[in-house]
Amino acid sequence: MFFKKKYSYNVLDPKHVKDPEAAFIIAIRREIEKLNDVKIPSMSWGYDTNNGPATWCKDYPVANGKRQSPIDIVPNSVSQEPSLQNNPLRVTYKPEPDVDISNTGASVKVQMTQQSELTGGPLKGKYRLEQFHLHWGSENSKGSEHTVNGKMYPAELHLVHWNADKYSSFGEAADKSDGLAVLGYFVKIGKEHKGFKQITDHLKEITKTGSHSPSPGKFDPSCLVKDDISRYWTYEGSLTTPPLYESVTWIVFDDVMEISQEQLNGLRSIKNCENCCIQNNYRPPVPICDRSVKASFSGASKLK
Ligand SMILES: [Zn+2]
């Protein structure tokens, strides 16, 4: 493909692009769009210097809002919320007969079709699992979006749910203040994750952006959730990618998901242009502003 990484700002007006080669490509793109009366889908945002998190506020002013995510979690300044213990978080996930695994250009996304549900904890009503995806670094010292006392993990898993009691679809719920709930697990390197292997085994089939695994097969999302889900932090936040809607009740576990180095390397090998692997696809923590983080547990965090 000729849209190399440096042309990822292809939504700009070619007149304002200084690099003549890039301006030429953008102009051609515009001509194709005009002639065919179509809009070529493009990524106006990414994780590079020219389109990364620090630039998102230009197109998405809410990036500077007061309910943004991720944040740094400081366990010592978090208060325990007794109502969370009295109303345990409950996950009732169903196996997917033929799960869809895709390369979105920003991550690996696994789309759900069954009625897998999340209830309890800070949530009112039923939230349905829509998809899950991950964020990861180019090296093991970075990659998670949330941090604990400033510490980053090599990756972070996000299980995205929408409020199915109040809204009729993920799309309708996505920008509502009580629309979404995301479960977050920090990911560390260790033993191979057998359940997650059903996903990582297919990464070689989705190295190109926009591709879907042709033969994904069955997958049970409950393999991603631990038996004990009683220890977590929760706060009101946002999507961590544009459009950054302030619609997410975050539930970040005081726990880690363990995957092998090989599995993480698999994630690092998928691409968003011919020679660019998707890496460092994380937004760094943003200010907590006047929000508070609640813990479902008392005492020290298990995360060191
Ligand atoms: Zn995410």
Does some domain include residue 133?
A: yes
Count Cα atoms within 13 angstroms, Cβ side, for 121: 26
Ion ligand 1 — residues with CB under 5 Å?
158
How far, in Å, from the CA of 135 to the mean position of ligand 1?
6
Which parts of the chain have pLDDT scores under 70? 1-30, 32-33, 36-43
How far, in Å, from the CA of 18 to the mean position of ligand 1?
33
Residue 47 structure tokens: 């994780």
Q: Does residue 136 sit in the same domain as residue 226?
A: yes
CATH classification at residue 114: 3.10.200.10
Domain that holds residue 67: 52-295
* Spatial separation of the C-alpha atoms in residues 191 and 227, rounded to whole Å: 17
How far, in Å, from the CA of 16 to the mean position of ligand 1?
32
Q: Does residue 199 sit in the same domain as residue 261?
A: yes
How far, in Å, from the CA of 107 to the mean position of ligand 1?
9
DSSP-derived 3-state class of residue 82:
helix
DSSP-derived 3-state class of residue 113:
coil
Q: Does residue 106 sit in the same domain as residue 17?
A: no
Q: Does residue 6 sit in the same domain as residue 102?
A: no
Residue 276 structure tokens: 């660019």
How far, in Å, from the CA of 219 to the mean position of ligand 1?
20
Does some domain include residue 199?
A: yes
How far, in Å, from the CA of 146 to the mean position of ligand 1?
10
Q: Does residue 96 sit in the same domain as residue 220?
A: yes
How far, in Å, from the CA of 183 to the mean position of ligand 1?
10
Does some domain include residue 300?
A: no
Does some domain include residue 276?
A: yes
Q: What was the pLDDT predicted at 62?
A: 98
Q: What was the pLDDT predicted at 44?
A: 86
CA distances from residue 119 to 95, 114, 184, 251, 295 in whole angstroms, order as listed? 18, 16, 15, 12, 17
* Spatial separation of the C-alpha atoms in residues 55 and 1, rounded to whole Å: 25
Residue 209 structure tokens: 């952006």
Does some domain include residue 85?
A: yes
How far, in Å, from the CA of 33 to the mean position of ligand 1?
31
Q: Which residues pair with 273 in a beta bridge?
A: 276
Q: Does residue 93 sit in the same domain as residue 209?
A: yes
Q: Does residue 65 sit in the same domain as residue 145?
A: yes
**Count of structural domains within the chain:** 2
How far, in Å, from the CA of 40 to the mean position of ligand 1?
24
Q: What share of the chain is helix, strand, coil (3-state, %, to 5)?
A: 20, 25, 55
Does some domain include residue 188?
A: yes
Q: Does residue 34 sit in the same domain as residue 149?
A: no
What single string gives the DSSP state of each residue in 213-232? -S----B-GGGGS-S----E
How far, in Å, from the CA of 141 to the mean position of ligand 1?
18
Does some domain include residue 47?
A: no
How far, in Å, from the CA of 105 to the mean position of ligand 1?
13
Q: What was the pLDDT predicted at 205?
A: 97
pTM for the complete prediction? 0.87
Q: What was the pLDDT predicted at 23?
A: 55
Which residues lie closer than 8 Å to 219 by C-beta, 6 or more apart?
Answer: 95, 96, 99, 110, 198, 199
How far, in Å, from the CA of 37 to the mean position of ligand 1?
33
Q: Does residue 19 sit in the same domain as residue 141?
A: no
How far, in Å, from the CA of 15 to the mean position of ligand 1?
34
Q: Does residue 35 sit in the same domain as residue 84?
A: no
How far, in Å, from the CA of 85 to the mean position of ligand 1?
26
Q: What was the pLDDT predicted at 12?
A: 45
Q: Does residue 229 sit in the same domain as residue 82?
A: yes
Does some domain include residue 227?
A: yes
Q: Does residue 11 sit in the same domain as residue 64?
A: no
